[in-house]
Structure 1
Amino acid sequence: MITYLDFVVQSHQFGPPLGITSICSAHPYVIEAALRNGKAKQIPVLIEATCNQVNQYGGYTGMTPADFVRFVEAIATRVGFPRERILLGGDHLGPLVWSNEPAASAMAKARTLVRAYVEAGFRKIHLDCSMPCADDRDFSPAVVAERAAELAAEAEAASQEAPLPLPRYVIGTEVPPAGGAKAEEDRLIITRPEDAAETLELTQRAFSKRGLDAAWERVMALVVQPGVEFGDAQVHDYHREAAQSLSHFIETRPGWVYEAHSTDYQTREALRALVEDHFAILKVGPALTFAFREAVFALAAIEEVLCDESSRIVHALEEAMLSNPKYWIRYYRGDERTLAMARRYSFSDRIRYYWATPTVEQAFQRLRSNLNRVTIPLTLLSQYLPQQYRKVREGRLMNTFDALVLDKIQMVLEDYNHACGLE
């Protein structure tokens, strides 16, 4: 059965190149905004979960793959988005979460992970075994390829036993060597075409050795590093001239495209250039929750003016991050002032891990309730949410809490609509 993903991939061979936005978030407002965007554009929506976020043990969201599917479908029902137009993807599926264990146990858990994703209804599977396990002594690209094929065999078996539609696969990772460049470095190392070619050759050979030639025909995308990344306060912009050899390489492989990770905060035209250069799958996550956070902080400032007893949600977030620093402590550096700023405003958006904290959720609902009981004056809307103010004045947006928050997220998605050829 031909899927929308197949159509996007084939457009790079037979027509104007199209793209698809990959929504990498478990935040309910982000998913709602994405589904509303898909409904307005009348296109399928690709939503992805990552192995440390959603797995057989719950991940940091507390959700198994089946839980995540129910979570997304419940939002789809509420907004009137057809369930059959939801595309679900599993990102970085492999031993990442258990890489501190010996390879045997880590890969056993990775096989269970992949099976759980496939059985739950995920049809886009990113196989990523690029991280060494605790007892790896001779870790090479060939080992990575063999492990990816091992997981593909598990996915194929799960699909056939159910039976379920056969998955589409993505292979590779952002950089060829484990570790790779960091966002804080002055420049990123763009993947060399010869490294991309080696990944394809080794992985195809590993698939074939396991009798997975039919599955190899459904491997549609390769993850590489095109020179796109972001850090706490800076963005590495896409420079297409630097990635031209990479772009030309994939043109020699009909039926293949690239998947670009960390495209958050790229300009609209840079995103379009990525799609034109065959980076057809654009993954975005932190930029969407960053927009959500901006909207919440702006509305909290309005609440302080309008309400006697405010939610103090910014304070609740800070307390939650300080009392449980595990999601940001290894990522932010500097003195106390710098750390305080990063916790709230960093492009890395580690604050996104704290919205589900009970005290934060309580403060958020208090903020929402407070502002739903009043009419937000246009003067304050102009001060704190000027772009939404203009839409309200023009009659294109309701002046309500949820509408304002969703529109802030939608503004990010509009850049991706443009990039993917939907305008």
Structure 2
Amino acid sequence: MSNSLLRGLRIAYDKGETRALISVCSAHPVVIEAALLHAASRKQPALIEATCNQVNQEGGYTGMTPAGFRDFVFGIADRISFPRDQIILGGDHLGPNPWKSLPPGEALQKASDMIAAYAQAGFTKLHLDASMGCKGEKEHLPDAVVAERAVMLASRAESVAPGQAVYVIGTEIPTPGGATEAFDHVVPTTPDAVRATYHVHEAAFRDALPAAWPRVIGIVVQPGVEFGHEDVAIYQPDAARALVTSLADLPGLVFEAHSTDYQPGTSLAQLKRDGFSILKVGPELSFALREALYGLDAIRNFREPQTISLVSVMEQVMLASPANWQSHYHGDASMQRVLRHFSYSDRIRYYWPVPEAAKAVQDLMQSLGGSAVPETLISQYLPRFFDRVKAGALPAEPEKLQLQSVRDVLDRYETL
């Protein structure tokens, strides 16, 4: 199912159809559930992706192997009766990045073992990213070396699951997790760079792995979208016109856009029309979840003013283990506090699985109970939901409000 759907994206684009898949990149169970519910409501498959740092054969920062992540997603799907065969699992940035401090041979062996684990676990959309230099190499490698290593990784996936995967190439993308500094604009990938990436990969595949080249269905480029801690670069179609035109020179491929978080619906619709048929979103989904949790926390704290707030617990958790934010957030103590909780890059997402944080969320839900939250408190602390709650279209139940906050982001991707 996944191969035919993904391979059909370019066919649809050539027919003038506006079609795109939302690629959800998150390991938060509420985000995954919301993504599956959204897909079910649209009667379409759900594309769920994991990154090489998040999930790998050594556990990644989530502690999950590819098989473990698959079972995690399938467990949520089974609980809400979403068909497993309607889930497309993807692996993002599959290459030596987690081990780039090692010598090339050792790092590439680990990357090869990783992509094999992804393929064996049933992941069928694999982004090949061997662009980074390893120990003793330059930071950015020549295109020919990148392509050679990408084909090596694809060969390993093919040896485990022959003919099962489709591949995405290309590495000119926004900074994973968002930019670290403020920016005025983002320059789209040039047509020459796109064509060079395409041709060098085509040559490498046709030479070493010709049967897999027809299953290379996408290329990651920079369309001019990005988000930082406090800024969002909005898609500018005129600036990307030359890039969009270059798609005509890439038969069978569509563009994959990363960091499309926080783009307005009109921009997402234009990206689809311009051939960006795979739109990746991640931090905005957990950002929206945090907004709902903090709104519910404010409601609970108003009703029970002596209770320790979720905000306070999260602040303590982040200060106790600063590794996931300290090198990213700058400024004075006041600014860092704001960024810890409210940055677009949403590095607070790394802390929800921490036992103290998970318990604080559980306590919040238990304190609010199963009864509906009063409309007037919804109006005050979660106003985006008020009209729907008052009209009876959305139950004022804490769990449903969390899910809807995430689904509102996904719904914006359906704007035409």
Please give the range of the TM-score, normalised by the shorter of the 2 chains.
over 0.9
Secondary structure (helix, strand or coil) at the match of 2:67 reads helix
Secondary structure (helix, strand or coil) at the match of 1:397 reads coil
- What is the CA distance between 1:9 and its match in structure 2? 2.8
Q: TM-score, normalised by structure 1?
A: 0.94
What percentage of residue pairs aligned between the two structures are identical? 45
CA contact (8 A) 1:183 1:229 kept: no
Match of 2:376 among 374, 379, 399: 379
* Map of 1:150 onto structure 2: 152
Pairing 1:299–2:301 present: no
CA contact (8 A) 1:260 1:283 kept: yes
* Map of 1:86 onto structure 2: 87
Q: 1:111 to 1:316 in 2, by over 3 A?
A: same
* Map of 2:201 onto structure 1: 203
Instruction: Using the TM superposition, name which of 122-131 and 249-258 deviates more.
Output: 249-258
Q: 1:204 to 1:183 in 2, by over 3 A?
A: farther
Structure 1: how far apart are the matches of 2:181 and 2:241? Answer: 21
Pairing 1:266–2:263 present: yes
Structure 1: how far apart are the matches of 2:340 and 2:174? Answer: 31
Structure 2: how far apart are the matches of 1:309 and 1:90? Answer: 45
Pairing 1:321–2:318 present: yes
Task: After superposition, give the CA deviation of every residue in 1:316-351 in whole Å (9 maximum; x if it has no partner).
Answer: 111111111111111111000010000010000000
Task: After superposition, give the CA deviation of every residue in 1:254-297 in whole Å (9 maximum; x if it has no partner).
Answer: 31110000000000000011111101100000000000000000
* Map of 2:25 onto structure 1: 24
Pairing 1:191–2:202 present: no
Task: After superposition, give the CA deviation of every residue in 1:122-177 in whole Å (9 maximum; x if it has no partner).
Answer: 000000011110121593111111110110111111113xxxx5100000113599
Structure 1: how far apart are the matches of 2:203 and 2:339? Answer: 45
One-letter amino acid matched to 1:281: I
Residue ranges of structure 1 left out of the alignment (5+ in a row): none
Residue ranges of structure 2 left out of the alignment (5+ in a row): none
Q: 1:373 to 1:82 in 2, by over 3 A?
A: closer
Task: After superposition, give the CA deviation of every residue in 1:219-270 in whole Å (9 maximum; x if it has no partner).
Answer: 0100011110000111000001000111011123231110000000000000
- What is the CA distance between 1:417 and its match in structure 2? 1.8
Structure 2: how far apart are the matches of 1:194 and 1:130? Answer: 17
Secondary structure (helix, strand or coil) at the match of 2:224 reads coil
Structure 2: how far apart are the matches of 1:8 and 1:416? Answer: 16
One-letter amino acid matched to 1:153: S
Task: After superposition, give the CA deviation of every residue in 1:292-319 in whole Å (9 maximum; x if it has no partner).
Answer: 0000000000000123553521111111
Q: TM-score, normalised by structure 2?
A: 0.96
Q: 1:126 to 1:183 in 2, by over 3 A?
A: farther
Structure 1: how far apart are the matches of 2:7 and 2:46? Answer: 14
* Map of 1:334 onto structure 2: 331
CA contact (8 A) 1:224 1:259 kept: yes
One-letter amino acid matched to 1:154: R
Structure 2: how far apart are the matches of 1:373 and 1:186? Answer: 46
* Map of 1:240 onto structure 2: 237
- What is the CA distance between 1:213 and its match in structure 2? 1.2
* Map of 1:283 onto structure 2: 280
* Map of 1:33 onto structure 2: 34
Root-mean-square deviation (Å): 1.8
